[in-house]
Structure 1
Amino acid sequence: MDTKEPLQKLLDYLASDMELCNRLIMDRMQSSVDLVSQLAAHLIVAGGKRLRPLLTLASARLCGYEQLSQGSMPRHVRLATSIEFLHTSTLLHDDVVDESKLRRGADSANVVFGNAASVLGGDFLFARAFQIMTEDGSLDVMRVISQACATIAEGELLQMTTQNDLSTSIARYYEVIYGKTAALFAASCRVGAIVADSTVKDEEALENYGLNLGMAFQLVDDALDYSAKQEELGKTVGDDFREGKITYPILIAYQKADAEEKKFWERVIESCDQTDQDLEHALSLINKHQALEETLKEAMSFANKACDAIRHFPEGELHSLFEEIARYTVTRHF
């Protein structure tokens, strides 16, 4: 019986592709400016799930992609590298905006190098990503990824407008997480189909898979901020609470709250008037109203939609791994 987690199984399945991708990541993050290389290395070499580039590689293979020429770096590997640089760029910027202290269990880049260097390092990786895309030369790829980048920026700005606002609707919250997370998941998958010269039907199916997977992924992230152990999560637990971020568990707990509980949420989230004991009380209210269970139930609904989106692809090991990844996203602890 195979006891490996689905993510590891996908990594094993795509081992040769990921080896090339990691090699290209190391090569293209180099710069004549030492600080740039150090900054990029701090986050990229630290690892992470590499889920977004994996989705590009896997989507290309699901659509039957085969390298046509020998001796050059395959297109799907180059574009997976570009996706990873874009993602890493957003992490560097996010940690500055959120004043985060930890990333993947280590000091965040803004703590080590300062805010200015982190922002500029993120800009470098963003530019490097578009250099790689330009070298690839596909206008379809550029269109999909550039739209995703615009959507990511909109999502982050929309999150700023909803911060500390308990009147935020579930629909508006979904707009936020689509922008900040799901859009890049969707683009990662669609790019794989484009590289494989697949049909528009396949492109749209994989885009929908990525979108729903990304929605599930962010819902689980929002739940983990109130349930995970810090050493497992790799970042400080309770950051969303301290920043007054409006996430699904908070919205559910507030909707179900009685008058006294509503006053508590309004004080700690809207007014950001918090004491050292407030996080513990917030957790008790979240548990009382089963807000985490509802969040994970909603995440599973999106995971099921992701699986439904790719039903028309032929059955096989890789197709099964896509389904396993979707459901694993909901059960993960980090």
Structure 2
Amino acid sequence: MPSGGKTSGGENALSALLAFLKDDMHACNRAIVERMQSPVPLIPQLGAHLVAAGGKRLRPLLTLASARLCGYEPGPDRQRHVGLAACVEFIHTATLLHDDVVDESVLRRGLASANAVFGNKASVLVGDFLFARSFQLMTADGSLRVMEILSGASATIAEGEVLQMVVQNDLSTPMERYLEVIHGKTAALFAAACRVGAVIAERCEADELALDAFGTNLGMAFQLVDDALDYAADQAVLGKTVGDDFREGKITLPVLAAYNAGSADDRSFWERVIGRGEQTDEDLSHALALIAQTGAIQTTIDRARQYADAAVDALKVFPESEIRRLMAETVQFTVDRAC
């Protein structure tokens, strides 16, 4: 395995981690493509569209990295980390397919979303297929503990998405409830992806919990930055339509921060466009101006940095090593995306 050099910047750190785990990631990608095959032609066609869209595959990468951090040594008959990394990616991709239908998204990673190309029915049904594939991979692994972690995360993701729907348009949503939403929809899978690495390496519960904390805090930081990018990024960089969260009336930290820091007139604006969903073509520009004026993006990024710091701290129970350093530096990638 290449050791990688000292990196600077989150993107370089992520690239270095990918290079360090190159062989494992290639094996994971092969497993993903193989498991997307089906005698029903539409399934591999839609699967090929998803693969072509790319993505950093951060979640399966975390499974591979966590297993290696815990001393798991691959071999011809020791490929559990690869199967479980593919399982994690299938869970994630299934939720994306469903989310894009619910959110009526037209872009995903800069390309037309699957529902825009193949339709809502196909996206929902192929999402169901991928969920089923993920459970086949869990069963093939043979560990009830692994199945407990990953199936639990799958249920938590669904709960987080439902909770997000419940609080949609509700500007009175407390910060704690918003954080509960993003824990469910994003951080829970990050945590599970990391924790199973410790399980297959047969590490103690303390190590499992440390990786769970690492994944949870990394996932929280990742989603906070995503929420900031919806109001701060260039569309070509973001890979989706800027302002999607605004148009959908989603309650995110940038909106809550701007609403709570705004004047009476500002709050009236947010109540109309988010609370009641009454929007005109000019409203997004005004929303972006209010977000900027109140420092809501910086508020969000500062909170993301707190979670990122906690993620790095969680790794300190493990001895210093190249993989630990790369994992810690990769955390910075989550924040650098918005800087």
Q: Same fold (TM over 0.5)?
A: yes
What SS class does the counterpart of residue 232 from structure 2 fall into? coil
- Structure 1 counterpart of 2:63: 56
Verify: 1:40 aligned to 2:47, yes or no. Answer: yes
- Structure 2 counterpart of 1:129: 134
- Structure 1 counterpart of 2:25: 18
Q: Map 1:253-292 onto structure 2 (within 5 A).
A: 253-292=258-297
What residue ranges of structure 1 are gaps of 5+ in the alignment?
A: none
Aligned residue type for 2:24: D
Asked if 1 retains the 8 angstrom alpha-carbon contact of 2:28 and 2:82, the reply is yes
Aligned residue type for 2:44: S
Aligned residue type for 2:314: A
Q: Map 1:1-334 onto structure 2 (within 5 A).
A: 2=7, 5-67=12-74, 69-70=75-76, 72=77, 74-333=79-338
Asked if 2 retains the 8 angstrom alpha-carbon contact of 1:224 and 1:333, the reply is yes
What SS class does the counterpart of residue 64 from structure 1 fall into? coil
In 2, Cα distance between equivalents of 1:53 and 1:73? 17
Q: Deviations over 1:34-77 (max 9, x none)?
A: 0011112211332101000000000000000012x52x460000
In 2, Cα distance between equivalents of 1:2 and 1:184? 27
Asked if 1 retains the 8 angstrom alpha-carbon contact of 2:7 and 2:16, the reply is no
Q: Deviations over 1:233-280 (max 9, x none)?
A: 111000000011000000000001111111000000011111111111
List structure 1 segments (4+ residues) > 6 angstroms apart after TM superposition.
none
Greater relative CO, 1 or 2 (CA 8 Å, sep 6+):
2
Q: Deviations over 1:182-232 (max 9, x none)?
A: 000000000111111111111000000000000000000000000111111
Q: TM-score if structure 1 supplies the norm length?
A: 0.97
Asked if 1 retains the 8 angstrom alpha-carbon contact of 2:228 and 2:338, the reply is no
Aligned length: 332
Asked if 2 retains the 8 angstrom alpha-carbon contact of 1:40 and 1:125, the reply is no
What SS class does the counterpart of residue 226 from structure 1 fall into? helix
In 2, Cα distance between equivalents of 1:44 and 1:178? 26
What residue ranges of structure 2 are gaps of 5+ in the alignment?
A: 1-5
Asked if 2 retains the 8 angstrom alpha-carbon contact of 1:44 and 1:88, the reply is no
Q: TM-score if structure 2 supplies the norm length?
A: 0.96
In 2, Cα distance between equivalents of 1:30 and 1:46? 17
In 1, Cα distance between equivalents of 2:7 and 2:147? 39
In 2, Cα distance between equivalents of 1:41 and 1:62? 32
In 2, Cα distance between equivalents of 1:304 and 1:202? 18
Q: CA RMSD in A?
A: 1.2
* Identity between Structure 1 and Structure 2 (%): 62
Q: Deviations over 1:52-104 (max 9, x none)?
A: 0000000000000012x52x460000100010011000000000000000001
In 1, Cα distance between equivalents of 2:130 and 2:68? 26
Asked if 1 retains the 8 angstrom alpha-carbon contact of 2:213 and 2:311, the reply is yes
In 2, Cα distance between equivalents of 1:327 and 1:286? 24
